[in-house]
Amino acid sequence: MFKIIIHVTVFFFLASFTQNSWPEILKEKVENAITSTFEVETFLLEEITVNDELKNKVPSEINNNNLFKLKSNNTLIGYAYVGKAPSMKKEFDYIILFDKDLIIKKSKVLIYREMHGQQIGSQRWLKQFIDKSKNDTLEIGKDISGISGATISTSSMTKATNNVLRTVNILFESDIL
């Protein structure tokens, strides 16, 4: 019983931490991305905590506030990674949503902070990442088409996705996912 109370307390603590540390606009966009992709009205973001040793092993940044289990009606529906990657002069925020078998269900650019390269936000381009799994390594020009005029951002998003896929693979092998 004591264990359950601790677990619940930790969960709510983590949930509120997530809410407090993200800007309101990012929170809203993450929520929209999840509800529309998984076609659920309500869901819970449960943070996946990773120890420092593993954090140093994985290529993507894990800050205990960007990798989550997604649950709806107490059932696991998938996973989400929320990250930042460089565009030409600034950084953009993105989300990669996995199904419960760790296959990409959707990638979205959530916030983009400059005019140049905004084409990467289009689902016409982003849908190329759908169905890629933890064992894939993606190459621009081979697996993913480039976009003329958005070379830096397309490379950046592809690299970020590769890092997330490798991270997910390492965490899976380590029984974290």
Partner 1 sequence: MMRKTITLLTFSLLCVGLNAQSKKKQDIKAIKDMCGCYEVSFKYTETFAPEIDYEKAHDYTSGALEWAQLIEDDKDKISIQHLLVINDSMVIKHWRQDWLYENTNFYRFNGDSSWKFETKSKDEVKGQWTQNVYQVDDSPRYSGSATWIHADGKNYWENKADSPLPRREYTKRSDYNIMKRGNRHEITSYGWLHEQDNDKIIREEGKDDKLLVQEKGYNVYTKVDDSKCKVAQDWWAANHDTWKTVRNKWDDVLARNKDLKLKPKVKDKALYEYLFYAQKEMDESEISSLVDKFVE
Return the SS3 of 97: strand
C-beta of 71: minimal distance to partner 1 in Å? 22
Residues contacting residue 1 through CB under 8 Å, at least 6 positions apart: none
d(CA 75, CA 50): 21
d(CA 17, CA 4): 20
Task: Quote the strand ranges of 100-176, DSSP E.
Answer: 104-111
Site for partner 1 in 104-123 (CB under 8 A): 108-112, 118, 121, 123
Single out the residue of 16, 19, 21, 36 in contact with partner 1 (rule: CB under 8 A): 36
> Token digits for 2?
């004591």
C-beta of 26: minimal distance to partner 1 in Å? 10
Residue located via tokens 């696991």: 76
Pairing outcome for strands 67-72 and 75-86: antiparallel
> Closest CB to partner 1 among 158 and 171?
158
What's the N-to-C CA distance of the chain in angstroms?
A: 25
**Is there a contact between 50 and 64 (Cβ–Cβ < 8 Å)?**
yes
C-beta of 6: minimal distance to partner 1 in Å? 36
Single out the residue of 14, 33, 34, 45 in contact with partner 1 (rule: CB under 8 A): 33
Q: Which stretch binds partner 1 (CB under 8 A): 1-9, 25-33, 132-140, 163-171?
A: 25-33
Size, binding site for partner 1 by CB under 8 A: 13
Q: Which stretch binds partner 1 (CB under 8 A): 42-50, 58-66, 103-111, 128-136?
A: 103-111
User: Distance of CA 163 to CAs 107, 132, 158, Å?
Assistant: 14, 13, 9
> Closest CB to partner 1 among 59 and 149?
149
C-beta of 111: minimal distance to partner 1 in Å? 7
| Residues contributing to the site for partner 1 (CB under 8 A) | 29, 32-33, 36, 92, 108-112, 118, 121, 123
